[in-house]
Amino acid sequence: MKVLLIYPMFPDTFWSFKYALKFVHRKAANPPLGLLTVAAMLPDEFQTRLVDVNVDTLTDEALSWADMAFIGGMTIQRNSARQIITRCKAAGLRIVAGGPLFTSEFDQFEDVDHFVLNEAELTLPLFLADLDKGCAKHVYETVEHCDIRTTPPPRWELIEFGDYASMNIQFSRGCPFNCEFCNVTALFGHRVRFKTAEQIIAELDGLYDQGWRGQVFFVDDNFIGNKAYLKAHLLPALIQWQSGKREIPFNTEASVNLADDPALMELMVKAGFDSVFIGIETPDEAGLAECNKQQNKNRDLIESIKLIQRAGLQVQGGFIVGFDSDTNSIFQRQIDFIQKSGIVTAMVGLLNAPPGTKLFERMKKEGRLTGLMSGDNVDGSTNILPKMGLDTLREGYRGMLHHIYAPKHYYRRAKTFLQEYKRPEISTPLDFQRALAVVRATVRLGILGRERFQYWKILFWTLFRRPKLLPLTITIAIYGYHFRKVCNLKIAH
């Protein structure tokens, strides 16, 4: 059996980093970890190829080679997935689909032959067994959650490392919290399941032995869901693994209660973590109560962010507008909070209701659902009818993005962050492409860009005040270029 694994295209969006990647001549931010892991679950007698259409072209030759196509992806890849399915159908391939997009919307894809939904560790073996017997069903799904200690390491040999800016790895699934708008617990449950430290070290060895020396993203939705295991096992193992290498920076996602645990932050920094994405959502207590963001309530969020930054972890933040409790003042309150916090990478989106969430069910009951969400964080779309009115919400949202990513405000926020940030112990080495990125940034931003005054101002400030953070400052400038391009394209009208 010849299996072609296909990863759909990401449109230009906040996390695509499309315009930033051009500075380092990379084609995509991260490889398709899910499909690489699924490939490792297939029987040895299966021949496999992988086509990530974010970095390669899906050719007729590849389609004619295959007997079967495996397609996986997320909501934002919906349109590309449809196009790929159409091509696979025309080529006469048996089509198998899975991942978050299809788990939530499998009834929207009538041309798919088999859906292997939820966690593939449980449903893929059932499909393969029936396929072998010639009686494969249309849908395989489960409400159970797997033991990810049985999950095999990804098949890294199916990709070209040079295409990507970062590799990714998964330590845990599940989240102990219950935010109304989040579908993580709907997909993976509340109980935090995790791999052993030995598994993670083996996966990192696999990357390192094949020559990877860049950043590694731990894709966990909440990396600190089990603090005890992190402190006692995983982080000490990572510290030991980094000894002698000192080259592999990590980043991940966490909840804001990380700020309450100085010992945990210290261990994370020693292990090589230099940034965390945190769902801040809103500075408004009523909004936090509405969405059941209990971990963010009753705390000084600004001070929590500063504590994390001072520990040596850059905070990337997620923000939402459009809660029922939001008034017209929320837009300026969000702007003021973001600027004061020094969160340089601030992703602001409209409230959406993913299928499977409590918010989805509430909006459905209230007759306020308008369809499926786009999955794009910054396109100004929502699949619910907001109480403040859609036109008011969109106008305020556009104003927010234009403000926080205008060069004057963006670079001022970057300086606020750099003043607080403790330099990490581990940083990405300056290879040839990154050295060229400095030259490209100087030309594109420092000479040709409309932000050239702010660019040189922050570079000289860093050079004299925080010289060891100069590479980070240039990275921040490049990210700002990407964010402005995306915002201008998405919400210009």
Please give the full DSSP string across 186-206, using - where no structure is assigned: HHH-SS-EE--HHHHHHHHHH
Architecture of domain 165-420: Alpha-Beta Barrel (3.20)
For residues 120 and 170, is the Cβ–Cβ distance under 8 A?
Answer: no
For residues 116 and 124, is the Cβ–Cβ distance under 8 A?
Answer: yes
The reported pLDDT for the residue numbered 23 is 95
The reported pLDDT for the residue numbered 429 is 59
Tell me how far apart the alpha carbons of residues 58 and 85 are, in angstroms, rounded to a whole number. Answer: 12
The residues of the chain scoring below 50 in pLDDT are 493
Tell me how far apart the alpha carbons of residues 101 and 110 are, in angstroms, rounded to a whole number. Answer: 14
Q: Which residue, 77, 70, 84, is CA-closest to 113?
A: 70
Tell me whether domains 2-140 and 165-420 share a fold.
no
- How many angstroms separate the Cα of 323 from the Cα of each of 2, 231, 392, 487? 48, 36, 13, 22
Number of H helices, E strands in the chain: 20, 14
CA 7, 13, 19, 20 torsion-angle sign: negative
Tell me how far apart the alpha carbons of residues 144 and 189 are, in angstroms, rounded to a whole number. Answer: 9
The reported pLDDT for the residue numbered 488 is 86
Q: Give me the residue spans of the domains in the chain.
A: 2-140, 165-420, 432-491
Tell me how far apart the alpha carbons of residues 22 and 165 are, in angstroms, rounded to a whole number. Answer: 10
**What are 95-98's contacts with CB under 8 Å, separation 24+?**
95/68, 95/69, 95/71, 96/68, 96/69, 96/70, 96/71, 96/127, 97/70, 97/71, 97/72, 98/38, 98/70, 98/71, 98/72, 98/123, 98/124
Token pair 């029987």 in the structure block, residue: 43
Give burial (CB, 10 Å; 0-12/13-18/19+) of 176. Answer: middle
Q: How far is CA 430 from the centre of its chain?
A: 24
The reported pLDDT for the residue numbered 491 is 66
Both tokens assigned to 78: 């919906």
Q: Are strands 193-194 and 172-173 parallel, antiparallel or unpaired?
A: antiparallel
Tell me how far apart the alpha carbons of residues 346 and 282 are, in angstroms, rounded to a whole number. Answer: 12
For residues 145 and 121, is the Cβ–Cβ distance under 8 A?
Answer: no
Tell me how far apart the alpha carbons of residues 218 and 250 are, in angstroms, rounded to a whole number. Answer: 7
Tell me how far apart the alpha carbons of residues 481 and 37 are, in angstroms, rounded to a whole number. Answer: 33
Give burial (CB, 10 Å; 0-12/13-18/19+) of 162. Answer: exposed
DSSP run (H or E) holding 389: none
For residues 489 and 12, is the Cβ–Cβ distance under 8 A?
Answer: yes
**CATH number of 2-140, picked from 3.30.465, 3.40.50, 1.10.10, 1.10.15:** 3.40.50
Tell me how far apart the alpha carbons of residues 255 and 344 are, in angstroms, rounded to a whole number. Answer: 18
How wide is the angle at C-alpha 272 spanned by C-alphas 475 and 210, nearest 5°? 85
DSSP letter at 388?
T
Q: Which residue, 272, 290, 288, 268, is CA-closest to 280?
A: 288
Tell me how far apart the alpha carbons of residues 358 and 351 are, in angstroms, rounded to a whole number. Answer: 13
Tell me how far apart the alpha carbons of residues 213 and 434 are, in angstroms, rounded to a whole number. Answer: 13
Residues 84-103: tens digit of each pLDDT: 999 999 999 999 999 999 99
For residues 45 and 75, is the Cβ–Cβ distance under 8 A?
Answer: no
